[in-house]
Structure 1
Amino acid sequence: MLARRTLGRIASQPTALGAAPSQARNMATLREIELRLKSVRNIEKITKSMKMIASTKLAKAQRAMQAGKDYGIANKEIFSHAVSEDAGKRKLFIVVSSDKGLCGGIHSSVSKATRRAIAEKDKVEEDSPVMVIGDKSKAQLSRALPKNLVMTFNQIGRDIPTFADAAGVADLILTSGAKYDTIAIVYNRFVSAISYEPAIVEIEPETLLKESPGFRTYEMEDDVTRDLSEFTLANAIYAALVEAHACEQSARRNAMDNASKNASDMINRLTMQYNRGRQAAITNELVDIITGASAL
C-alpha cells in the first residue's frame, strides 16, 4: 500500500524544473527552424546579388584583359632577343593578388606557387626577396616566408587596373634597393570563365639586357636601356594585373554561384523539416482533442 501511494505521488507531481512538454518542445523547434530559414533566405539574396555584380564586372575585366595581353606579347618579343646565359639564382618574386576575399582559392594558388618556386634551391636562392600586391597573399606569405617579404602594395585592383597603377608599382620596386638578378612575376593566368592556373613570367633587368648578345649588336646609350627596362617591367606588371583581375572576378562569380546553390539546397531541407515538424505538432494536437472528447 505504501509503495502504491508513493508511486501515485510521483506520478501526480509536475514536470521537473526547466523541462517542457513535448508539444512545447516541438513549437520551439519550429520557431528555431523558421528563424534559420529566414536567415538562409537572406544569405541567398546576398549571394545572388553578388553573383550578378561579379558577372557584370567579369565582362569588363575580360575586355581589359584582352587589351592588356598586347603588352605581354610585346615583352615576349623583346626578351626573345635578350637571352642571357647566366641570369643568376637570386630572383625577385612579385606576387599579384588583391585585397578582397570571397573568391575561392585564387589567393592561395599564387602563394603556393611562390613557396614552391623558392623551395627549388638548385634554381633559386633561399633568401630571394618577395614583394606582394594585395593584402590576402600578404597575410599568407607573411606567415610562410616572413624573412623574404620586403615590400607590399594594397588598394590596387579595387577597380580595373590601369597602366598608371602598374607604372607606380614598377617605380617603387626599382627604387626599393632590393638586390636581385632577375624578376619573376607570379600571377593567375586566365584559362576560361570557370578555371585559372598560377603562372610565372620572368623579366630581364637592365644589366642582363645590356649583356645579352641581341642588344650588344646595337650601340645604345645607357639611358635607352634603362628606360626600356623600366617600361618592360611596367608592361609585364600591367598585363599580370589585368589578367589576375579577370581571374578574381571569374572566381568570385563561381564562388557566389556555388554559395547560392548551397543556400537553395539548405532552404529545401529546412522547409521539409519545418513541414514535418508542423505536421507532427498538428497531429499531436488532434490526438489530444480526440482523447479529451472520448473521455467526456
Structure 2
Amino acid sequence: MFARQTQTAVRAAARPSTILATPPQARNMATLRELELRLKSVRNIEKITKSMKMIASTKLAKAQRAMQAGKQYGAANAEVFETVKEEAASGRKLFVVVSSDKGLCGGIHSSVTKATRRALANDKESPLADSANATVESDSPIMVVGDKSKAQLSRALGGNLVMTFNQIGRDVPTFADAAGVADLITKSGAEYDSVVLIYNKFVSALSYEPSAMVVKGEKSLKDSDAFKKYEMEDDFTKDLAEFSLANAVFSALVEGHACEISARRNAMDNASKNASDMIGSLTMQYNRGRQAAITNELVDIITGASAL
C-alpha cells in the first residue's frame, strides 16, 4: 500500500514538469512562424511606402509649377510694401500659421510650430530669431491653416488660438482658397496692425526652412507716411489690404504645399529603404533559424538510427 501511494505521488509531482516542457523543435518552429509573419508585414509596408513615394513624385512637378506661379503674388506684395519696410514690425501682430491636414511627411509641421513659438517668445524685430530657452509671454492672436499644427499649438498656445482652417491644400491650393482664408481673417474681429505669415519656404527638393512674411493691415497702411503722400479713399485702402493679404496667403499656401509633397516623397523614400534593410535582416534570421531546425531534426534521426 505504501509503495502504491509513493508511486502516485511521484507521478503527480512529475506531471507538471512534463506539461511545461517544450521540445526544442517546437520552440524553433514558433520562432520561425513569428519571423515569417513579420516578414510578410514588412513587405506589405514596403509596398505601401513605395506606392506613396511614386504618387508624391508625380504630384511634386505639379506642385512646383504652382509654386513658381504663386511666388509672383508674394513678389508683388514685397514691391508694394518696400517703401514702408521699416514700419512693418510695429504694432500688434496676428500670426497665421500655414500647414496642412495630412501627415507622413516628416517634421514639416513641427518646423512651423517651433517657428511660431520662437516668434511669440522673441522680440518684434526678428519673428524667427532663435532662442532655445525662451518662454512664451506674448498675447498675440494666432490663426492656423491645417489640423496638424493646430494640434501641436493647442497644447502650448491654446489661449492664443482664435481661428483654425482645415480642408485646404488637399490638392494644389488655388487663389480662391487664399481669398476665402483672407476674407475670414478680416471678418474675424481680431485686432491687428500687421499679419505675420509663418510657412515653410521651399529651398530644394530635399530641404525646406521655416520663413515669415509680414503683411500690413488697413490701419497701418493709412498711418504710413508713404501712403499719406497720395489721396486715396478709405475703400481703396481697405481693398488693397485685403487683396495684399490674399496674395500673401496664396503664395504661402502653394509654397507650403510644394514643401509638403517634397517632404512626403523623401519620407516615403527613407521608409522604403528602411523596410528593405529590415527585410534583409529578417530573411537572414529566418534562414538561420530554418537551417538550425533542420540540423536538429537530422541530429535526432541520426542519433535514433545509431541507437538501433
TM-score range normalised by the length of the shorter chain: over 0.9
Equivalent-residue separation in structure 2 for 1:106 and 1:18 (angstroms): 52
The equivalent of 1:75 in structure 2 is 77
Shift of 1:87: 5.0
Please report the RMSD computed on the Cα atoms of aligned residues, expressed in angstroms.
Answer: 2.1
Equivalent-residue separation in structure 2 for 1:288 and 1:50 (angstroms): 49
Shift of 1:15: 4.6
Pairing partner for 1:173 from 146, 162, 185? 185
What secondary structure, in the 3-state scheme, does the structure 1 residue paired with 2:282 have? helix
- Residue pair 1:84, 1:208 contacting (<8 A) in 2 also: no
Stretches of structure 2 lacking an aligned partner (at least 5 in a row): 1-6, 126-135
Shift of 1:14: 8.2
Equivalent-residue separation in structure 1 for 2:55 and 2:284 (angstroms): 31
- Residue pair 2:99, 2:144 contacting (<8 A) in 1 also: yes
Relative to structure 1, the CA distance from residue 274 to residue 40 in structure 2 (aligned partners, 3 Å threshold; closer, same or farther) is same
Relative to structure 1, the CA distance from residue 115 to residue 104 in structure 2 (aligned partners, 3 Å threshold; closer, same or farther) is same
The equivalent of 2:201 in structure 1 is 189
Pairing partner for 1:26 from 25, 28, 31? 28
Q: TM-score, normalised by structure 1?
A: 0.93
- Residue pair 2:193, 2:218 contacting (<8 A) in 1 also: no
Fraction of identical pairs, as percent? 75
- Residue pair 1:87, 1:181 contacting (<8 A) in 2 also: no
What secondary structure, in the 3-state scheme, does the structure 1 residue paired with 2:203 have? strand
Shift of 1:214: 1.9
The equivalent of 2:172 in structure 1 is 160
Relative to structure 1, the CA distance from residue 17 to residue 163 in structure 2 (aligned partners, 3 Å threshold; closer, same or farther) is same
Equivalent-residue separation in structure 2 for 1:38 and 1:195 (angstroms): 33
Q: Are residues 1:207 and 2:209 paired?
A: no
Stretches of structure 1 lacking an aligned partner (at least 5 in a row): none
Shift of 1:223: 1.1
Relative to structure 1, the CA distance from residue 292 to residue 96 in structure 2 (aligned partners, 3 Å threshold; closer, same or farther) is same
Provide the aligned length of Structure 1 versus Structure 2.
290
- 1:14-69 Cα deviation digits (max 9, x unpaired): 85424311011001100110011001000000000000001111111000000000
Pairing partner for 1:244 from 248, 256, 271? 256
- 1:121-173 Cα deviation digits (max 9, x unpaired): 56597100000000000000000101100000000000000000000000000
Equivalent-residue separation in structure 1 for 2:88 and 2:249 (angstroms): 24
Q: Are residues 1:224 and 2:236 paired?
A: yes
- Residue pair 1:98, 1:135 contacting (<8 A) in 2 also: yes
Relative to structure 1, the CA distance from residue 139 to residue 14 in structure 2 (aligned partners, 3 Å threshold; closer, same or farther) is closer
- 1:222-267 Cα deviation digits (max 9, x unpaired): 1111111100000000000000000000000010001001100000
After TM superposition, what 4+ stretches of structure 1 lie above 6 angstroms from structure 2?
Answer: none
